[in-house]
Structure 1
Amino acid sequence: MMAQLLQQPQQLLAEPFPQPEGYTQLNVREQAYNPRFYETVGKIMKLREKYLRDRCIFVESADMIDIVLGLGANEADLPKMEKVSDHLYHDPTLPFRLTRNSRFCLDFDTHTIRRLEFQPFVLTVEEDFNRYDSGAIRRFDEVQNELQLNSVFQALFAFKAMVIHGVQIAHRPKLEYGINKWVCTLFNLRTVTTPHILGEPALEGVHSDGVDHTMTTFLGSYNMSDNSAATFMHDMDEKTGIPLEEIKPKHLLARVQHKRLLDTLMIVDHERKHSLSAVYPVDETKEAHRDMLVFFTRKPVERTHVSGSIDSLTPHKELPMEIPLYLPGANQ
């Protein structure tokens, strides 16, 4: 593996992308001769092997922080990730959630990750998402530079790209698997519980996200009890849309819980369904909340897909972002 990595430094030596003033973006090309970078890539490849085998991985906070810093993220950007959810807006359909979203292209031809122009968002029952707003065209406020130009956030993207590169998965209908690019719809979410409303990270019950690879990363919480927001993974025979209390033990594959900064779960979305428990407060007289990043990643859609008219690959003009991407060779 190390010999394979060292054969590719030319990927890292190209001219770096301009860095916007006031931000320190990730540039893996600057890591070309840093031994820690290659040690980190080796760790990611071991996690990729587990992902290939189990179709899901859970990376705990300390390990993920070590990985993003090993990829070149600035340690000073870590505390900024804990605060970024303070600037979210109301969700268009869920009263207990604050949200921003954005779209990115993981381009395995150009070895870059870039921000894409705004598009509405839709998920349907046919994609294993059964909720009262299934099929509705939803418009979210957009992610701003404070998140997308954070080097830790960008390193999370680079991590996901390395893990999914070359992984063979069950294909969803009407996706363009022959294209060497991926579309990622990124959500920054705060789920809120108050004395008057219960915040549910997955009101839809057992579901899939209509994509190929789902990654969820914990940013922080306030007044949240230890029994909150556990994630349960189910085989594909579990019934879509049923509440957590109705799941069948024979279909339950795993349980994890995001508790610390950058705790991260990745799932092959068309091979594992999942569900979550609610956000419960420690002090029931006060608000409780849970902040997350959710990376929905799939191939571009065909024109006949429900999102066929809202899946542009055009770069974002007002909020541009583009970083170099390092992809170790993978033939599996």
Structure 2
Amino acid sequence: MANLTSNHSFNMAIIDEILKLKDTFAKKRIVFIEGERMTNWLVGLGASEEDLEKIQKVSDGLEGDPTLPFRKSKNGRFLLDFAHNELRRLEFQEFILSAAEDFVRHDSGETRIFDEVAMDLQGNTALQALFLFKSLMIRGIPTKHRPMLDYDLNLYVCTLFNLRTVTTGDIVGEPALEGIHSDGVDFTMTTLLGSANMTDDSAITYVHDNQDKTAARWHEADPKLLRGSHQHRHFMDTLLFVDAECKHSLTAVERKDFSRDATRDMLIFFTRKPVVKGHVSYKYDSLVDHKTLPLKVALNQVQ
């Protein structure tokens, strides 16, 4: 298994660039990184060119989704353990997101079972470099506290989703069917792996003040509460924001050529402190390592 900090060719100039962006993130609470820049950074953080190619095709292995007919998905749980300065894969758990966390959809509060992220993604050095990037960006950044999370622990649980949203002649793919929402976490990071046959106005992310109405459609938002918009258009375009301090919504995936399907492939990183008793996810928040898909990657010491 690759260990990123065993690569002595770490590009310290790139780490300095990332830390400058971290200063911006600490002030603005949201940053968008264009894919060309991110790809260059990932190589400096240990990603191989071969793995950058492979990760663009990893979503071809997705098969279905527990509740959404227009989506294919896998997920996996990881631990950013800053106390021991390492990334680890955690054991499988069911997933739940509730209306109390500003997520209102037909499956709110349901326990969902996703197919597990496998070695084709977990073992990819580009993914591991993305985790390293996120760890550099969020370490030491204080956020608004969500209820029933343990902010005394120097670690974060990260649920990674690999998602393909599909629009066909029969169904429209909605990256955020739930409308204006939050993800119930401290930090959310979204990274584009690829897309096909999408219109130029597809999958625009709108960021809203927390006062905006949960579950409203993106076009129903209060313009006075809109904090910005971003669109993933190129490989590795990445958006990182403090989920606890804003809400967001997305436009649908629309087809440019009506004779073909449109697809959008993403990595979504939900990152939060571990929960305490009373939280809806308490039964599904184990910190035990995965026995059959183990991973341990040292995180860079830079803070």
Fold equivalence (TM over 0.5): yes
Paired position in structure 2 for 1:72: 46
Paired position in structure 2 for 1:120: 94
Query: Which of these residues, 29, 33, 40, is aligned with residue 6 of structure 2?
Result: 29
Query: Which of these residues, 86, 90, 107, is aligned with residue 133 of structure 1?
Result: 107
Paired position in structure 2 for 1:320: 294
Matched, 1:95 2:69: yes
Whole-angstrom distance in 2 between the partners of 1:38 and 1:296: 27
Whole-angstrom distance in 1 between the partners of 2:211 and 2:278: 27
Query: Which of these residues, 127, 142, 156, is aligned with residue 116 of structure 2?
Result: 142
**Contact 2:190-2:268 within 8 A present in 1 as well:** yes
Whole-angstrom distance in 1 between the partners of 2:105 and 2:288: 30
Q: Alpha-carbon deviations, 1:88-109, whole Å to 9, x = none?
A: 1211100000000000000001
- Larger-gyration structure (1/2): 1
| Corresponding letter in the other structure for 1:129 | F
Whole-angstrom distance in 2 between the partners of 1:144 and 1:229: 26
CA RMSD of aligned residues (A): 0.9
Whole-angstrom distance in 2 between the partners of 1:168 and 1:321: 27
| Corresponding letter in the other structure for 2:129 | A
TM-score (norm 2): 0.98
What are the within-5 Å matches in structure 2 for residues 219-298 of structure 1? 219-298=193-272
Whole-angstrom distance in 2 between the partners of 1:197 and 1:327: 47
Whole-angstrom distance in 1 between the partners of 2:274 and 2:249: 25
Ranges in structure 2 where 5+ consecutive residues have no aligned partner: none
Whole-angstrom distance in 2 between the partners of 1:219 and 1:27: 21
C-alpha deviation, 1:285, in angstroms: 2.2
Query: Which of these residues, 54, 57, 73, is aligned with residue 31 of structure 2?
Result: 57
Identity of aligned residues (%): 51
Whole-angstrom distance in 1 between the partners of 2:3 and 2:266: 21
C-alpha deviation, 1:26, in angstroms: 4.4
Whole-angstrom distance in 2 between the partners of 1:282 and 1:239: 31
**Contact 1:26-1:73 within 8 A present in 2 as well:** no
**Contact 2:204-2:251 within 8 A present in 1 as well:** yes
| Corresponding letter in the other structure for 1:218 | L
**Contact 2:166-2:264 within 8 A present in 1 as well:** yes
Whole-angstrom distance in 1 between the partners of 2:3 and 2:220: 44
Secondary structure of 1:215's aligned partner: strand
Query: Which of these residues, 3, 14, 19, is aligned with residue 45 of structure 1?
Result: 19
| Corresponding letter in the other structure for 1:30 | N
Whole-angstrom distance in 1 between the partners of 2:296 and 2:302: 19
**Contact 1:129-1:240 within 8 A present in 2 as well:** yes
More displaced stretch, 78-87 vs 318-327? 318-327
Secondary structure of 2:245's aligned partner: coil
Equivalent residues, number: 303
Matched, 1:310 2:284: yes
Whole-angstrom distance in 1 between the partners of 2:195 and 2:261: 11
Whole-angstrom distance in 2 between the partners of 1:307 and 1:191: 25
Whole-angstrom distance in 1 between the partners of 2:7 and 2:116: 29
Whole-angstrom distance in 2 between the partners of 1:101 and 1:199: 19
C-alpha deviation, 1:226, in angstroms: 1.2
Paired position in structure 2 for 1:15: none
Whole-angstrom distance in 2 between the partners of 1:116 and 1:162: 20
Paired position in structure 2 for 1:7: none
C-alpha deviation, 1:134, in angstroms: 0.4
